Structure 1
Amino acid sequence: MLSAEEIAKTAVAASSVLRPVSNEARVSALKRIYSTLIANKASILEANKLDLENAEKNNIAGPLIKRLDLSKSDKFDAMCQGVLDVAELPDPIGKVTFASKLDDGLDLYRITCPIGVLLVIFESRPEVIANITALAIKSGNAVILKGGKESLKTFTEVSKLIREALSETEIPSGAVQLIESRQDVADLLKQDQYIDLVVPRGSNELVRNIKENTKIPVLGHADGLCSAYINGDADVDMAVRIVLDSKTNYVAACNAIEGLLIQKGSAMVKILPAIAKALLEAGVTLKVTSEIAEALKTAGVSDDKKIVPAEDKDFETEFLSLVIAITAVDDVDAAIRHINAHSSKHTDVIVTSSKDTAERFMSGVDSAGVYWNASTRFADGFRYGFGTEVGISTSKIHARGPVGLEGLTCYQYQLRGTGQVAGDYMGAGGKKEFKHEKIDL
Structure 2
Amino acid sequence: MASNPAEAIALNARRAFEASQLVAPSERDIALTAIRTALSEKRDEVLAANKADMDAARPLVEAGKLSASLFSRLDLGKKGKYDSMLQGITDVAALPLPTGQVTFAKELGPGLALHRVTCPVGVLLVIFEARPEVVVNIAALAIKSGNAAILKGGKESTLTATLLSKIIADALAKTQIPSTFVQTVSTRSEISGLLAQDKYIDLVMPRGGNELVMSIKNQTRIPVMGHADGICAVYLDKSADENKAIRVAVESKIDYMAACNAAETLLVNESLVNTLWPKVANALAAVDVSLRCDAVTLAAIKGQPAEAKAQAAAAADFDTEFLGPEIAVKVVPSVGDAIKHINEHSSHHTDSIVTEDETSMSAWARGLDSANCFINASTRFADGTRYGLGTEVGISTGKTHARGPVGLDGLVIYKYVLRSEKTDGSLIADHEKGQGYTHTDLARDQPPF
Q: Identify the TM-score tier after normalising by the shorter chain.
A: over 0.9
8 A contact 2:282–2:306 mirrored in 1:
no
Deviations 1:215-274 (A, max 9, x none): 111112221110000011100011000011111111111110000000002x11221111
CA deviation profile, 1:310-359 (whole Å, cap 9, x unmatched): 11111111111111111111111110111011001000000000011111
Counterpart position of 2:92: 86
CA distance in 1, matches of 2:294, 2:359: 28
The reply to whether residue 179 of structure 1 matches residue 185 of structure 2 is yes
The 5-angstrom pairing of residues 49-198 of structure 1 reads 49-59=51-61, 60-198=66-204
What's 2:247 paired with? 241
User: In the alignment, residue 383 of structure 1 is paired with which amino acid?
Assistant: R
Alignment match, 1:268: 273
Match of 1:204 in 2: 210
Q: Is the 8 A contact 2:292 2:313 kept in 1?
A: yes
SS of corresponding position for 2:302: helix
Q: Aligned equivalents of 2:167 and 2:103: distance in 1? A: 36
For residues 95 and 22 of structure 1, the distance between their equivalents in structure 2, rounded to whole angstroms, comes to 15
The one-letter amino acid paired with 1:4 is: A
Structure 1 residues 432, 66: CA separation in 2 closer, same or farther (over 3 Å shift)? same
In 1, Cα distance between the equivalents of 2:117 and 2:431? 26
The residue identity in structure 2 corresponding to 1:335 is A
Relative to structure 2, which stretch is displaced further, 201-210 or 277-286? 201-210
Paired with 1:183 and 1:355, the residues of 2 have a C-alpha distance of: 53
Residue 46 of structure 2 contacts residue 163 of structure 2 at CA under 8 Å; is this kept in 1? yes
Instruction: Give the one of 395, 398, 415 matched to 1:395.
Output: 398
For residue 358 of structure 1, what is the aligned residue in structure 2? Answer: 361
Shift of 1:129: 0.6
Structure 1 residue aligned with 2:286: 281
Distance in structure 2 (CA, Å) of the matches to 1:200 and 1:143: 13
Aligned to 1:373: 376
Which whole-Å CA distance do the structure 2 matches of 1:106 and 1:345 have between them? 44
Residues of 2 paired with 1:22 and 1:86: CA distance?
Answer: 17
Alignment size in residue pairs: 436
Unaligned runs of 5+ in 1: none
TM-score normalised over the length of structure 2: 0.95
1:412 to 415, 435, 438: 415
Q: Deviations over 1:69-111 (max 9, x none)?
A: 0111100100111011101100111001110011111111110
Aligned match for 1:42, one of 41, 44, 53: 44
Q: Which residue in 2 is equivalent to 1:8?
A: 10
TM-score by length of 1: 0.97
Give the share of equivalent positions with the same residue, in percent. 48
Distance 1:15 1:64 in 2: 32
Per-residue CA deviation, residues 158-208 of structure 1 (Å, 9 max, x unaligned), is 111111111111110110010111111111111101100010111222222
1:31 corresponding residue in structure 2:
33
* Distance across 2 between alignment mates of 1:215 and 1:365: 30
Structure 2 residue identity aligned to 1:196 = D
**More displaced, 187-196 or 412-421?**
412-421
Q: Which amino acid counterpart does residue 356 of structure 1 have in structure 2?
A: T
Question: Is the CA contact (8 Å cut-off) linking 2:285 and 2:305 kept in structure 1?
Answer: no
1:103-123 residue CA offsets vs partner (Å, 9 max, x unmatched): 111111110111110000111
SS of equivalent residue, structure 2 residue 224: coil
Deviation string 1:104-159 (CA, Å, 9 cap, x unpaired) is 11111110111110000111111111000000000001000010111111101111
Secondary structure of 2:384's partner?
coil
TM superposition outliers: structure 1 runs of 4+ over 3 Å: 301-304
Give the superposition deviation at 1:301.
3.6
Instruction: Please report how far the alpha carbon of residue 309 of structure 1 lies from its aligned counterpart in structure 2 after TM superposition.
Output: 1.5
- Where in structure 2 are there 5+ consecutive unaligned residues? 445-449
1:307 and 2:313 aligned: no
Amino acid across the alignment from 1:348: D
Q: 2:29, 2:37 → 1: CA distance? A: 13
**Alpha-carbon spacing, 1:165–1:328, altered in 2? closer, same or farther (3 Å):** same
8 Å Cα contact 1:19/1:114 also seen in 2: no
Q: How many Å apart are 1:423 and its aligned residue?
A: 4.2
Say which of 341, 346, 350 aligns to 1:343. 346
Question: Is the CA contact (8 Å cut-off) linking 2:129 and 2:207 kept in structure 1?
Answer: yes
Give the drift of 1:302.
4.1
Write the deviation string for residues 40-64 of structure 1: whole angstroms up to 9, x where unpaired: 0011000100111111111222221
Cα distance in structure 2, aligned partners of 1:438 and 1:25: 33
Q: Output the CA distance in 1 between the equivalents of 2:14 and 2:122.
A: 7
Q: Is residue 442 of structure 2 the alignment partner of residue 422 of structure 1?
A: no
RMSD value, Cα: 1.3
Amino acid at match of 2:28: R
Q: Is the 8 A contact 2:117 2:416 kept in 1?
A: yes
- Between the aligned partners of 2:390 and 2:431, the Cα distance in structure 1 is 48
